[in-house]
Amino acid sequence: MSQMSVNTGHSSSERLASPDASQIDEVVATVLAAPKYRTIAPSLVRTLAMRELAARRSVKAAIKATKNKLHQVAGAYVEQRIDVADWLRRLQSHDASSPSAAPDDALVQAALANSRVAHLGESFVRASLDLMARHASTRERLPIVQQFYADIFACLPPIRSVLDVGCGLNPLAIPWMPLAPNAVYHASDIDRAIVDFIARYLTLLGIPGSVEVRDQVSDPGGPPVDLALALKMLPVLEQIERGAAARLLDALDASFVLVSYPVHTLGGRRKGMGATYERQLEALVAGREWEVRRFIFPGELAFLIRKGSRQSWKSSASSC
């Protein structure tokens, strides 16, 4: 485990001296025993526990701080516990007339035009949209999801493989992704419940691939792909450990990487976030022979990175 260069704001007199393995284990076990965090990757909990034990006066304080950090990087995005069986039932028997399932009809019809989805029917699409609204990140993208992927993919050659890191519920947006026929979709997340659900969702769609619990701080990367998605992921990694965003970008074995940033907080406040994140992205790619194209969407700033020369931009992409 690499040493973390995080300024905790605590003096050395307030810190536990060199926490031992038993203290780390106690924090990890206590945090994972909490219903809210029991499905989180243990390696991430351990990373946070080690940092907080080095910064706090007691194990009790470290437990509280670890839970607070997990809420910031994971818990705040999901408003209710993920019940895999119930969510699958909703997908397979959703009542399309439900008032809560009444998104833009054009969005529904666009998804049904996708051959991967057409056989599953309108109720499946509406249920997918309902479930996407239960995760903050995908809920914010719902009003623009079709345009978001249309604009991005207009710049790309045929995409036959995708890796979605820190995926959350973003794979539910596959119906609006113009992927190549027989595309493979890989995904990872720190939450085992999300991973279980996404694996079942991909099976329903009939899309081959893999889904795994993976802590992108301690084990960045994934299988080689045409396109890697790291949507709103880099700020989260930097909250956990400084330098983790750069390590992820370097580790991704992808011809193209799409990263995005929120332009407002979960509470809706704008604090010059767009300009701040643009400077951060510029610093991340500085010195690397990567090409970057910027996209501005309502609520989201995206950057499409071409790594190396394995694949070229789509030649007809005049709008990029």
Give the tens place of pLDDT for each residue, 157-209. Answer: 999 999 999 999 999 999 999 999 999 999 999 999 999 999 999 999 999 99
Quote the pLDDT of residue 1. Answer: 34
Residues ≥6 apart with Cβ < 8 Å to 225:
161, 162, 163, 184, 186, 253, 254, 255
Domain ranges of the chain: 17-73, 136-307
Which DSSP state fits 187?
E
Quote the pLDDT of residue 11. Answer: 36
**CATH among 3.40.50.150, 3.40.50.2300, 3.40.50.2000, 3.40.50.720 for 136-307:** 3.40.50.150
82-98 mean pLDDT = 77
- Parallel, antiparallel, or unpaired: how do β-strands 290-297 and 161-165 relate? unpaired
> Which H helix or E strand runs over 279?
helix 273-285
**Does 15 have pLDDT greater than 90?**
no
User: Average pLDDT of the chain?
Assistant: 86
**CATH among 1.10.8, 2.60.40, 2.60.120, 1.10.3470 for 17-73:** 1.10.8
Least-confidence region, from 14-18, 104-108, 115-119, 248-252: 14-18
Which DSSP state fits 18?
S
pLDDT > 70: percent of the chain: 84
Quote the pLDDT of residue 104. Answer: 77
pLDDT > 90: percent of the chain: 65
Q: How far is residue 129 from each of residues 90, 143, 262, measured CA to CA in Å?
A: 11, 11, 20
Q: Fold match between 17-73 and 136-307?
A: no
